[in-house]
């Protein structure tokens, strides 16, 4: 599986009173990983959205292995685990200094933004996302 | 000026690593104060939006007097300070146990969501929001 | 299993450009459900935190069944699914008008905030959270 | 005045149902601008915090000139407008393609995280932040 990598820093608004990143904001990294993976294969999600496709999430799993702290430099490694007729399942891993801190997966469905009905994932994406 | 009051609790995701509420989330309370003030006069902002009006914010001022902590019960006191042709200026004060913790104001403009052009604030709102 | 119920409204900041609630903010409701379930059995999480216990999340699962929209009144139904030596697994369901919109579970571990080591979940909580 | 520049992209979670960036998240950019300005002069805010100084915000002004959209590339231009005994006033401007979209300022006070009392801003910072 092809891995896509994005760098980011933990922001202060993402920390909580326990001194570590609040669990909610792991999802910000997942979304960033998806966006940048798509950009790498030449697809801007914003353009696809303007073309009338939305990407609602239907299933999410997230495991928190180690805490992240303010200003940590993190690496978001994203792979496309599976593509169904109209769904894409992404796997995300968040590393800091080579240590896995958060991992998870996120299944998204492509739907027509007018009708809400599922749309077929373009074949070109399959090749680009799953190819080695 | 008529004051509208809403109760809320500080959520954990709103705190930061300094152990207090992150400054960004004061705006959540301002938005809640506006929504509930409008509801009190019989207007659901969601309905107005579905009717084709958006309420972009154009100006914001916020003063932080005392920190807020996780699970603090707060009182959001909202008044309508002024209504222009197409704008409303809200004043918000956040109290905890009678002590003023955050205050500010927020000017919003009513615009047509299709054209982006300003829309006149309904006269009925003037009477309800500014009346004593 | 005892179910704890909390009411909330979808805030505008939680919506995204697809016109529905952004998937990240489901976690706000899960956290609110946990906090209010604990309050119902007489425990303020803020007090426990000041007593030196933190509650990091270690595992999260979330399923999105139906979109939520701005100002929707939602009901958060929270049950305690399991209590281990130092962990609690919460189940959350988000309903709107009796329809299940989001469901999920969240495993939290109790740790000493100084040492980071796991702390035993108090026996009193077991009885209160799991009892029928 | 020395200007510090940071690039960022508008994230999807920052948009709202009006299709544009939610006003709350302008503050994320202000905070990022401050952090990166400090980094440019050799100061990591995380290190300062671990040294026992917090930076609560006391005053915020924000003007919204043009909407920002999902995936817009923005440039955050930050200047230090003034340094008092224990306060720093930052000015921030958010540009997209050379057009000013959001501007504002943010006054922060340096306080001892144990006592909560104001701490003098280091002289070295004055020279670096205000110098030309």
D89 close contact with B: CB closer than 8 A: no
Do the beta carbons of residue C79 and residue C91 sit within 8 Å?
Answer: yes
Which residue, chain included where needed, has tokens 């393609």? D97
Chains within contact range of chain D (3+ C-beta pairs < 8 Å) = A, B, C
Residues 6+ apart with CB under 8 A from C115: none
pLDDT in tens, B70-106: 999 999 999 999 999 999 999 999 999 999 999 999 9
CA distances for C14 relative to A107, C22, C32, C81, angstroms: 20, 6, 15, 27
Which chain A residue is nearest to residue D33, measuring alpha carbons? A11
Chain B residues in contact with A22 by the CB 8 A cut-off are 12-13
Cα D76 versus chain centre, distance:
9
Partner residue opposite B12 with nearest CB, options C12, C31, C70: C31
Question: Does B27 contact chain D (CB < 8 Å)?
Answer: yes
CA distance C97 to B111: 31
Q: Measured between alpha carbons, how far apart are the two ends of chain A, in Å?
A: 6
Instruction: Tell me the CATH number at B106.
Output: 3.10.129.10
D60, closest residue in chain B (CA to CA): B62
Domain range enclosing A97: 3-130
Please name every residue paired with C102 in a beta bridge, in sequence order, or none if there are none: C64, C94
Inter-CA distances, D1 with D6, D91, D128, D131, Å: 16, 11, 10, 7
Q: Do A16 and B12 touch (CB under 8 A)?
A: yes
The model's pLDDT over B25-63, given as tens digits with 9 standing for 90+, comes to: 999 999 999 999 999 999 999 999 999 999 999 999 999
Residues 30-49 (D) with a CB less than 8 A from some CB of A: 31-32, 35, 44-46, 49
Note whether A2 and A129 are within 8 A (CB). yes
The residue of B10, B13, B29, B39 whose CB has the most chain C CBs within 10 angstroms, and thus the best one to mutate to test that interface, is B13
The pLDDT of residue B132 is above 70: no
Structure confidence at residue A66 as a pLDDT band (50, 70, 90): very high
D22 interfaces chain C, CB cutoff of 8 Å: yes
Instruction: Give me the interface pTM, i.e. the ipTM.
Output: 0.95
> Is B71 within 8 Å of C12 when comparing Cβ atoms?
no
Each residue of A16-52: pLDDT tens digit? 999 999 999 999 999 999 999 999 999 999 999 999 9
If one counts the domains in chain D, the total is 1
Please report the pLDDT score of residue B72 as a whole number: 98
Please say if the pLDDT value at position C132 is more than 90.
no
Per-residue pLDDT at A1 exceeds 80: no
Q: Does D13 touch chain A if contact means CB atoms closer than 8 Å?
A: yes
Q: How far is it, in rounded angstroms, from Cα B106 to Cα A30? A: 33
Distances (CA, A) of D55 to A49, C83, D5, D110: 39, 39, 21, 5
State whether C60 and A60 contact (CB < 8 Å): yes
CB C90 within 8 A of CB C105: yes
Q: How far, in Å, CA of B110 to CA of A119, rounded?
A: 35
User: Nearest 5°: phi and psi at C128?
Assistant: -70, -40
Neighbours of A27 (CB within 10 A): 25
Q: What percentage of chain A reaches a pLDDT higher than 70?
A: 99
SS3 A15: strand
D71 min Cα distance to partner chain A (Å): 6
Which pLDDT score, from 0 to 100, does residue D131 have?
75
Instruction: Note whether D17 contacts C13, CB cutoff 8 Å.
Output: no
Chain B contact present for D62, CB below 8 A: yes
Q: Yes or no: say if B19 and B69 are a contact pair by the CB < 8 Å rule.
A: yes
Joined together, the tokens standing for residue D78 give 């930050």
Helical ranges in C10-112 per DSSP H: 26-40, 45-50
Q: Three-state DSSP class for B10?
A: coil
Residues A61 and A93: their CA atoms lie apart, in Å, by: 12
pLDDT at C131 over 90: no
Side by side, the strands of the sheet bearing B73-83 are B3-9, B73-83, B87-96, B99-109, B57-64, D57-64, D99-109, D87-96, D73-83, D3-9
pLDDT in tens, chain D (132 residues): 789 999 999 999 999 999 999 999 999 999 999 999 999 999 999 999 999 999 999 999 999 999 999 999 999 999 999 999 999 999 999 999 999 999 999 999 999 999 999 999 999 999 899 875
Contact B37, B129 (CB under 8 A): yes
> Residue B128: enclosing H or E segment and its boundaries?
helix B123-130
Neighbours of chain B (3+ CB pairs under 8 A): A, C, D
Q: Residue A32 is nearest to which of D11, D32, D45, comparing CB atoms?
A: D11
Q: Does A71 touch chain B (CB under 8 A)?
A: no
């Amino acid at each position: 599986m092809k891995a896509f990598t994005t760098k980011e820093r933990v922001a202060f608004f993402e920390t909580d009173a326990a001194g570590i990143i609040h669990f909610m904001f792991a999802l910000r990294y997942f979304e960033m990983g998806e966006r940048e993976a798509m950009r790498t294969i030449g697809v801007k999600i914003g353009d696809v959205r303007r073309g009338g496709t939305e990407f609602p999430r239907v299933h999410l799993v997230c495991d928190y292995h180690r805490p992240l702290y303010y200003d940590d430099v993190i690496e978001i490694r994203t792979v496309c685990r599976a593509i169904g007729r109209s769904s894409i399942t992404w796997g995300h891993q968040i590393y800091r200094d080579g240590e896995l801190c958060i991992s998870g997966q996120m299944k998204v469905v492509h739907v027509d933004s007018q009708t809400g009905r599922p749309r077929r994932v373009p074949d070109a994406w399959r090749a680009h996302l799953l190819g080695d």
